[in-house]
Structures are given as C-alpha cells and as structure tokens.
Amino acid sequence: MDKILRVNMTDLTTKLETVPANWAGLGGRGLTSTIVAAEVPATCHPLGENNKLVFAPGLLTGTAAANSGRLSAGAKSPLTGTIKESNAGGTAAQMLARLGIKALIIEGLPKGEAWYNLHVNKDGVSIQEEKELLGQGNFAVIEALEARLGKKTGILTIGPVGELKMTAANISVKDPDSKIRSHGRGGLGAVMGSKRIKFISIDDQGAPGIKIADPDKFKVAARTFAKALLDHPVSGEGLPTYGTNVLVNILNEAGGLPTRNFTTGQFAGADKISGETMNETITARGGKVKHGCHAGCIIQCSQVYNDKDGKYLTSGFEYETIWGLGADCCIDNLDDIAKADSIMDDIGIDSIETAVMFGVAMEAGILPWGDSKEMLRVLSEEIGKGTPLGRILGGGAGSVGKTYGVTRVPVVKNQAIPAYDPRSVKGIGITYATSTMGADHTAGYAIATNILNVGGFVDPLKKEGQVELSRNLQIATAAVDSTGMCIFVAFPALDIPECLPALIDMLNARFGIALTGDDVTNLGKHILKVERQFNIEAGFTNKHDRLPEFFSIETVAPHNAIWDFSDAEIDEFWNF
C-alpha cells in the first residue's frame, strides 16, 4: 500500500499517512508541485518554518521501464522565490518507490542548534541527531555512510554550501557507483540546510516492491519503449558516445554558444572542450564514455572522466557545466573544468548557477577571464569554506551581479540562464521567460526543434512558431517529469510514433487505468497552472516573465541577433 511519510522538524516527530485520493494519480513533479502548492504558503520565507521540502519518485519509478529512475524534489525556491521542482537520477528514487513511498514531506524547523539525519526504511522514517558528518563534503558523507550503514544504502546529502544555506546549494544523490547526481537548480540544498538535515539515508531491505496491474501489457509496452530509445540516433548513439557535451560544437557552429558572459555566440576554444575531444580524452585515459545515472538507464549519457594519470576525476560531466565554465568564462582547459565539476559535487553547489555566476564574477573583475586555477581556488577556498566573498558567489549569478553593480546578468526570476543564447535560439528564450521555475532549459527544450532537427524544425533566428513550440514542450515536459522518466526520452518521443503511446501504455498497465494522450496533455497543463498559481500568490506577474534588458539592447555575433519579442507576444504563452 502506497504511503506518504511526513517529518516535522519542529517537534521532531514523524507520521505515516495514507495517500489522499486526489494525489493517487500523481508522481514526480506533478506530486511535489501539488503538495507544495497545497501546503506551503506562497508568501513564506523559503528558509523559514513554513516551507516544506518534498521528495517524490515518478509514477513509473521502481518498475522495469527503461530510464524511469528519476526523483523529484520540490519546495519554494530560495533562489527564485517561485515554486521549484528539480529532478535527478541516482539510486534513491527506485528505493523509495519499492518501499511504497509516494512522497516524503519534510516540514518545520528545529528549535535548537543541533543537526539531524533522517533514515527511511520499510517501517517508515526516523530522525537522529547527527554530529560526525557536519561540515563534510558529499563524497566523504557517502563514504562514511556506506561504512556506517552498508554499501547499498541510498543517500541524499548536502555539502557545506547547503549547510550554510547559500541559494545555489544543491542536494546530492548517490548514484550506482557511489558517485553523485544532483537536484541542482533553485537552491533546494539551502532548504534542506535550513531544516538542519545533513543527509537522508534509505534502506530498502524488505521493501514490498511494485505491483503491476497488468504485467503482460506492461512487458510489451516496455519493450516497444526501450526499442524506440535505442533506435533513435540521439538517445541510441549520440548521447552514449559523446554525452550531452556533443552540443558544444553544434551550438558554436550555429552561433548560439554564449561566450564571455553572453557577449558573443562563438568560442575560439570550443573544439578543446567539445564532446568529440572529451570522447577521445576519456578513451585515451581508460575512462568510460558511457555510464547510466540509475539502474535501468539504457541511454547512458554520463561518463567517467579520468585525469592524465588515469585516475577518476569526475562523472556526470554535462554540457551546461562545460559550456558555462568553458565558453562563458573563456576557459579552454577541460581537465580544470572537470576538477571544478568534482569540487562542485563535493561542496554541493549547482554547476549551472555557479558556472554562469563565474562569468558575471569575471566581468565584475573578481577574477580574470579564463583563469581556471583561480576559479578552482575560489570554489574550494571561498565558496566551499563560506568566506564572505564565497557566500556572495554562492548566492548565484544574480547575487554577484547585484553586489558588484554588473548590468549584464543572465538570469530570469534570479535563476541563471544556461548554455543557449536566447537571441540566436529564440524558442529557448520563450522557455526561459515563461517557465514557472525561472530560467530552465529543461522545462521546454526548444533546442531540439530550433537547432537539432528533432520534432521538426522551427528557425531559431525567427520569432514565428516559438511561443507555440515552447508551450507544447513545457506541457509535455511537465507530464514526463511526473512519470520518473529521464527528459531525454523526449528525443525519440518527438520523432518515433510508437514511443509516446508505449509510455502511456506502461502507465495504464502499471495502474490498471485507461489514460489517453489527451489525458497526459491535460495533466501537463494542469501542473503548469498549479505552479503558476503558486507563483502569482507569491507575488509574481507577467512582468516577471521577461528576459534581462541587455538581451534587447545588445546584439550577439555572428548573426547579430537580438531579443525582439514584445510583452504581448510572450504573454501569449499562457493562453491555454
């Protein structure tokens, strides 16, 4: 029987609740956003007693469905002040799902100075005081907990950045190799830190497992779905070979690779940090070019990147991180970017927010353009140790921009704009402007259709069709984010006709229901509207659905593109 676990950090009590009927058909983002909207006062302080941190596995998580092992985390974001959902791979989602836990809700704030950990198992959740691991980095936490509780323990943890409640703090999730995946965006690590929880450990021994209503139908649909993932060139070949970093070269060629804090669209050092170069380097050093973030991932876009001596340096080394510290900061040393990726995992900070922040910090003169050694020092010695400068930087791109009087600050709703220039890839600009999450490329990945020729083609340099494209993608993404599926299933889903029906068939077979494609679309619309209503109640209006002014004033080379949507054109997004 599915259940809700509720933890009250004010009086240090826990409860096991049955799932209300209106939450039964929800999972992942649909459930975290519904719970946050229902239970968190929209005007509350995100780090105060009234915010809640909610974890929920997706509707298909824990089943044999390929790529279904994502965990959603939700709260009011201390970075944006909006509702937030951030999802990640790792082992925790499948463990929670097998334990029959539909959601874990953490509320209240402890009264004293003590820190705690939570332990989840088949009997529920318990709260313990934690002393040993305070101040430790995430890798040390994982190592210590595997020694304390066993190798198979699932772990959600925050590093020093989360303990210090910096608004770029993330929540780390242990992956199948005891490395780290992240609930990166929106400062959810600071929310966990505010509740004085250093980590959550999960033991799924004796878990009841998932009961499939129609196992035969599920098996057929799961096979069709997996075949579509393997047949599509992006999910079947490009991602496992080059990782997401395959995008450096194509965005650079198309003039959409934001460079030197978004002042130009191409980077002279692009080839040195590209997916092709990364693939050669990994192969030469005996790393792994493909690697899954959770059991059952058949796309395997992750990798193991070794240093020049063949020793492990990092994994889950993503395009956005490499672009941000690379092109946007004018750093062409992939080894130093890999070191930074590992440090960010360890201290527990969002690699997108932080990479964009460094571009703004370089423009502010805090460190020189392209100085990767100083960037590494600042990460470890300033941000990781919580110096006053480190706390300004750990507040993200908006924080450093405001403190140093920089006007070119690429954020929407105070969240950093990633990896794709909205002037030369206009569809993604609509997503940045309108997403309920602040600037977030994954919310409606218009790059697919603007740049990659997936799901058709809409010219990235023209305005026509972009609002509709972003709207359709954001609706579909909200639904997919509720299933526990990796967002990369969208590539085959956009091009292979059997893929999406197979996904819906799996949902129907799992629960013994009869959803149609329209039902799934309506779910996506409903989730977006619930999230937007929260934001409206928090004080956001259509005037916040805008890109920073500089995008409308400064053109970007090589196409001399500019952001030229009117307010009315952007607002048309919500017309559904």
Partner 1 sequence: MQITVKLFATFRNGRFKIELQEPPVDSDCRTIMLGLGLTEAEIGVVLVNGRHATLDHVLNNSDTLSLFPLVGGG
Q: Which residues bind partner 1 (CB under 8 A)?
A: 232-235, 237-239, 241-247, 249-250, 253-255, 271, 275-276, 301, 318-319, 441-442, 445, 447-448, 451-454, 457, 459-461, 487-488, 491, 558-559
Does residue 96 contact residue 202 with C-beta atoms inside 8 Å? Answer: yes
Rounded to a whole number of angstroms, the minimum distance from the CB of residue 524 to partner 1 is 18
Helix (H) or strand (E) run with residue 203 in it: none
Nearest to 297 by CA among 156, 485, 483: 485
Which C-beta is closer to partner 1: that of 420 or that of 534? Answer: 420
Q: How far apart are CA 476 and CA 525, in angstroms?
A: 8
Q: How far is the CB of 168 from partner 1 (least distance, A)?
A: 20
Contact between residue 369 and residue 267 where contact means Cβ atoms under 8 Å apart: no
For partner 1, the closer of residues 199 and 323 by Cβ is 323
Report whether 265 contacts 424 (CB < 8 A): yes
**Minimum CB distance to partner 1, residue 380 (Å):** 28
Shortest gap between Cβ of 445 and partner 1 (angstroms)? 5
Nearer of residues 197 and 448 to partner 1, judged by Cβ: 448
Q: How far apart are CA 32 and CA 326, in angstroms?
A: 34
Q: Which is nearer to partner 1, 190 or 299 (CB)?
A: 299
Other residues' Cβ atoms within 10 Å of the Cβ of residue 22: 9
Nearer to partner 1, 52 or 181 (CB): 181
| Dist CA 220 CA 214 (whole Å) | 10
Task: Tell me how far, at minimum, the Cβ of 497 lies from partner 1, in Å.
Answer: 17
Q: How far is the CB of 556 from partner 1 (least distance, A)?
A: 12
Shortest Cβ 449–partner 1 spacing (Å)? 11
Q: Tell me the two tokens of residue 415.
A: 């969240």
- Count of alpha carbons within 13 Å of 293, Cβ hemisphere only? 32
Q: What's the rounded Cα separation, in Å, for the pair 3 and 262?
A: 46
Q: Which is nearer to partner 1, 298 or 461 (CB)?
A: 461
273 or 361: CB nearest partner 1: 273
Q: To 10 degrees, the CA torsion angle through 241, 247, 249, 250?
A: 120
Distance CA 310, CA 291 (A): 17
CA distance 78 to 192: 11
Considering the complex, state which of residue 159 and residue 269 has its C-beta at the smaller distance from partner 1. Answer: 269
Name every residue whose Cβ is closer than 8 Å to that of residue 148 and which is 6 or more positions away in sequence: none
**Of 275 and 394, which CB lies nearer to partner 1 in the complex structure?**
275
**Separation CA 212–CA 515 (nearest Å):** 16
Burial letters 531-562, b for 16+ CB under 10 A, else e: bbebbeebebeeebbbbbebbeeeebeebebe
With contact defined as beta carbons under 8 Å apart, do 452 and 434 qualify?
A: no
The answer to whether 416 and 357 are in contact (CB under 8 A) is yes
Place of tokens 């994954």: 442
Least Å from the CB of residue 249 to partner 1: 5
Residue 66 C-beta: closest distance to partner 1, Å: 17
Angle at 424 between CA 419 and CA 430, to 5 degrees: 75
Residue 132 CA to residue 117 CA, distance in Å, equals 11
Q: Cβ closer to partner 1: 203 or 328?
A: 328
Strand-pair category, 124-129 with 116-121:
antiparallel
Using the 8-state DSSP alphabet, how is residue 439 labeled? S
Give the relative orientation of helices 517-537 and 499-511 as an angle to the nearest 10 degrees.
80
- Minimum distance from residue 26 beta carbon to partner 1 (Å): 25
Based on DSSP, count helices (H) and strands (E) in the chain, helices before strands. 24, 17
Complex with partner 1: residue 441 or 510, whichever CB lies closer: 441
Q: How far apart are CA 372 and CA 391, in angstroms?
A: 20
What length does the chain have?
Answer: 576
Q: Which is nearer to partner 1, 91 or 235 (CB)?
A: 235
How far apart, in whole angstroms, are the C-alpha atoms of residue 328 and residue 321?
10
Strand partners, 200: 118, 156
Residue 516 token pair: 């149609």
Let me know: does 409 contact 328? Beta carbons within 8 Å.
no
Which tokens go with 158? 């925050």
